[in-house]
Every structure is written in C-alpha cells, then in structure tokens.
Amino acid sequence: MSQASSASESLAARAATVLDRCRELAGITDVAGETTRLFLSPAARDAQTLIGWWIRQAGLTAHCDDVGNLRAIRRCPHDDAPTLILFSHIDTAPNSNPFDGSLGVLLAIAAIERLGATPLPFHIEIVAFSGQEGARFGVPFLSSLAATGQLTAEHLARTDRDGISVAEAIRAFGLDPERIPVTCPLAPHSFAAIEIQIEPGPVLENSDSALAVVESIVGVSRLDLTFQGHANQAGTTPMSLRSDALAAAAQWIVEVEHYAANYTQLVAAVDRVHTLPAAPNAVPGTVQATLEVRHPKDESRHAAVAHLLTKAEAAGSLRGVRVHATAQSEQRAVPMDRDLTLKLHRAAERAGYDAQPIFSGAEHDAMILAAAVPTAMLFLRSPVELSRSSGEGLRCQDVEAALATLLNLLLHLHPHPKPS
C-alpha cells in the first residue's frame, strides 16, 4: 500500500469518525426523540462535556467563557504569533438536523488531530458558539455578538418563555455576565476566521457538488403588510360591490412568487397570512401578511422590495383595498473576505475538489465575525435538502472533502502576504 493511499484512507477514517461524533452529539437533547439543544440548557452542558473530551483527545485543553462558548487553542511555538479562528455553533433549532452547526466544530477538532505536531506559523483557536440559533430567547447570535463586543444590556435582559433573562441563564450555568467583556472577546491578533457548515438548502445537491465557498451572506428585508378592504356577507354582496382584502392579497402573493422566480439570485416569500374575519360566508375585510426578501446585493434587494410594494398597491387599487406596509427588520448583505475566500477555493483545488462559488441565503455567525476579522465560509452538500429536517443522509466522502480542504488551507495559509 502506497503512502498516499494510506493517507487517503486515514482521512476517510477521520471523516467517518466526525460523522459518528455528530450522531452521538445529536443524542444529547432537551427533548427526547429530537435533536433540540437550546442555549445554556442542561443538554448544552452535557454537549460541552462530550466535546471537551474530544478536544482533550486532540491534545488541547477546553474552557468555557462567560457566555457559554467552548474554546480551545492549539499554540504555535511563538507566543506573539497571530491566531486563526475555526468556529461554528453547537446549539440547535428545535428538532434540528444532527449535523447543523456541530459538524463545523467537529471538523475543526479532526483537523487538529490530523495535524499532530506539524508546526504552523499561527495559533488556532476552536470556538464552539453556544447561542447561534436564537430558539430560546428569540434573538440569534448571542454568543458571537459577545465574542465581537456587540452584546448589549438589552440582549442580556431578554427573557425566555419562562421569564428567565439571558443574564440569569448565564448565572444559572455557573458563569458571570459581568465578565463577558473579559473572557469572551476573540484573540486580539486574530487574522482570519473560518466557518464550515452544511448548506442550508438544495443547491449543491442539485448540482451534484460536494463543496462550495460562500461569497456573501444575503441581506434580508422583512415587512408587515395590511390589506384593508370591507368585510361583508359573501352570499348577499354582489361581486361588483366587494372590497375583498384576501383577493387582493392573493393576487399580490402570486406576483411575489412570479417576480422572484424571474430575478437572478432573489428569493422572496409571503410566509404568514392572517385573515379577518376568518369565518364562513364572509368577504374578508382585513388581511395581514409578512413579506421576506433576500438578495446578496443590498441595492438589488431594495429595488425588489420597492417593486413588490408597488405591486401590492396595484392589486389593492383594483378592488378598493388600501395597503399599508411597515418595515419589520432589515439585515444588510455581508460579503466574505475576498482574499480568504480565494484561498479557500485554491485549497479545495489543491485537495482535488471543485468548490463552486455560492451565496448563503441563511444567516450565520460568520456575518457577525466578519465585522471584526477577515472571515470565510465553506459549505458542504446536505442531501436532506434543508437543515431543519432531521435526516441522516450526509455523505462521508463530502465530509472527507471538507476536511481535506481545511487541512490544505491550514498548511498553506500565511498570516501575512509573502514578500515578492
């Protein structure tokens, strides 16, 4: 058996171990029969204990900062060397995919194991973020906001359904929210950050590709619309005398779908509709709807929102229905670091893989870290199509491809440009 063949088998075996560990971690849950692990919950503590054991097996020491992030550092011989951050999250949405988030953390550990004593010109810090999903307190990215100095008193005062605040949950976990500014920030000389995730969508599966490098995380506009007509009895009100809010909203919803389907990289959805009166034999007088628009370029997203609002008003005017729109929230698009993105592409090529460029239609911790440190993101194929479905279909060869790409990046990465 050749040395190259042996090395390939070793990488495949490590990929299989990563999948086994993901499945074992998925069994640590707040809700039996699901993978549900909320921020600072009892299951979160058990998950940290298990991941901490795997970190120790990789030769590192794990510790927990004061927002519950699990962290470990592989040091290089030079104390003043800069730091590379490898990160993902280990909390989950309710009934989540067993690989969502945790895969990136476990791939980082596997890469450290494979490196062994190989010297690198930088430290590597693994960060397993504790609160990305926002399922418990209704706001995402609490842990990465803390790591980048953006966690506010308002964040700490938010409460869960039991009335427990974020600050109280931190204390109940044995941590101190007063020490967040001391223990949570990223290393002061962090020069790059890499997140690896399963793709939260079907693009890679549809193109039969194992990997993609994220170029940008989309911007998101969310708006509430009210279609205000007149409620009447359906059986006694002639069609020509109706002011049907639901008919106007329905026409507009179809136009939203049609417009987005014909606009490159745009996705749009009317994801919530509430009709009043919701009764038999009634012409609906009021419809409340929520519009969400996503695009990797902010100017294109803004233009799409303006167009769709015009279409809503036009659908209403045909029926004597007034339309009122209120902006609910807006998240700007976040490009990934261009230089680091190119280096990820090259690492994949050297490892023998074609990692296509992609934009992320979902939000990730990478968009928070990008404000503080050059950040890049690698997706691998998720055959279950959506990360919210609880499937077991992740391919071992795709995990091997991601691990090979990460290792190649680590071995060729330099904190500063080489002199010409």
Looking at 270, 296, 331, which one is the last position of a domain?
331
pLDDT of res. 113: 95
Looking at 305, 331, 357, which one is the last position of a domain?
331
Return the closest-CA partner of residue 245 out of 234, 256, 259, 260. Answer: 234
Per-residue confidence band for 387, with pLDDT thresholds at 50, 70 and 90: very low
Q: What's 339's domain CATH number?
A: 3.40.630.10
Q: Say if 417 falls within a structural domain.
A: no
Per-residue confidence band for 151, with pLDDT thresholds at 50, 70 and 90: very high
Report pTM. 0.88
Examine the domain organization and report whether 295 and 338 are in the same domain: no
Instruction: Report the number of distinct structural domains present in the chain.
Output: 2
Per-residue confidence band for 1, with pLDDT thresholds at 50, 70 and 90: very low
Q: Say if 418 falls within a structural domain.
A: no
pLDDT of res. 317: 97
Looking at 331, 366, 398, which one is the last position of a domain?
331
Examine the domain organization and report whether 88 and 206 are in the same domain: yes
pLDDT of res. 296: 94
Q: Across residues 193-201, what is the average pLDDT?
A: 94
Examine the domain organization and report whether 167 and 293 are in the same domain: no
Examine the domain organization and report whether 188 and 308 are in the same domain: no
Q: What is the mean pLDDT of the chain?
A: 93
Q: Which residue has the higher pLDDT, 136 or 391?
A: 136
Return the closest-CA partner of residue 269 out of 285, 282, 258. Answer: 258
Residue type present at position 174? G
Range with lowest mean pLDDT among 1-15, 150-164, 387-401: 1-15
Only one residue has tokens 């190119």, namely: 342
pLDDT of res. 323: 98
Whether 201 and 379 have beta carbons less than 8 Å apart is answered as no
- pLDDT tens figures, 87-140: 999 999 999 888 999 999 999 999 999 999 999 999 999 999 999 999 999 999
Whether 133 and 93 have beta carbons less than 8 Å apart is answered as yes
Find how far residue 242's CA is from the centre of its chain. Answer: 45
Examine the domain organization and report whether 316 and 236 are in the same domain: yes
Question: Looking only at Cα atoms, what is the longest distance across the chain?
Answer: 85
pLDDT at position 390 over 60: no
Examine the domain organization and report whether 52 and 200 are in the same domain: yes
- pLDDT tens figures, 237-262: 999 999 999 999 999 999 999 999 99
Q: Say if 420 falls within a structural domain.
A: no
Q: Across residues 346-373, what is the average pLDDT?
A: 95
pLDDT of res. 9: 52
Examine the domain organization and report whether 54 and 152 are in the same domain: yes
Examine the domain organization and report whether 120 and 241 are in the same domain: no
Per-residue confidence band for 392, with pLDDT thresholds at 50, 70 and 90: low
Q: What's the domain range around 283?
A: 219-331
Per-residue confidence band for 230, with pLDDT thresholds at 50, 70 and 90: very high
pLDDT of res. 2: 37
Examine the domain organization and report whether 272 and 326 are in the same domain: yes
pLDDT of res. 81: 95
Examine the domain organization and report whether 362 and 382 are in the same domain: yes
Q: Say if 138 falls within a structural domain.
A: yes
Examine the domain organization and report whether 293 and 251 are in the same domain: yes
- pLDDT tens figures, 253-307: 999 999 999 998 999 999 999 999 988 999 999 999 999 999 999 999 999 999 9
Residue 154, CA atoms < 13 Å, CB-side half-sphere: 4
Per-residue confidence band for 385, with pLDDT thresholds at 50, 70 and 90: very low
pLDDT of res. 5: 41
Q: Say if 376 falls within a structural domain.
A: yes
Q: How many CB atoms lie within 10 A of CB 201?
A: 18
- pLDDT tens figures, 24-39: 999 999 999 999 999 9
Whether 153 and 166 have beta carbons less than 8 Å apart is answered as no
Examine the domain organization and report whether 45 and 141 are in the same domain: yes
78 dihedral zone (left: phi>0; alpha: psi -120 to 50; beta): beta
pLDDT of res. 34: 92
Distances in Å between the Cα of 130 and the Cα atoms of 41, 89, 415 are 10, 6, 27
Per-residue confidence band for 3, with pLDDT thresholds at 50, 70 and 90: very low
Q: What's 266's domain CATH number?
A: 3.30.70.360
Return the closest-CA partner of residue 136 out of 65, 269, 236, 31. Answer: 31
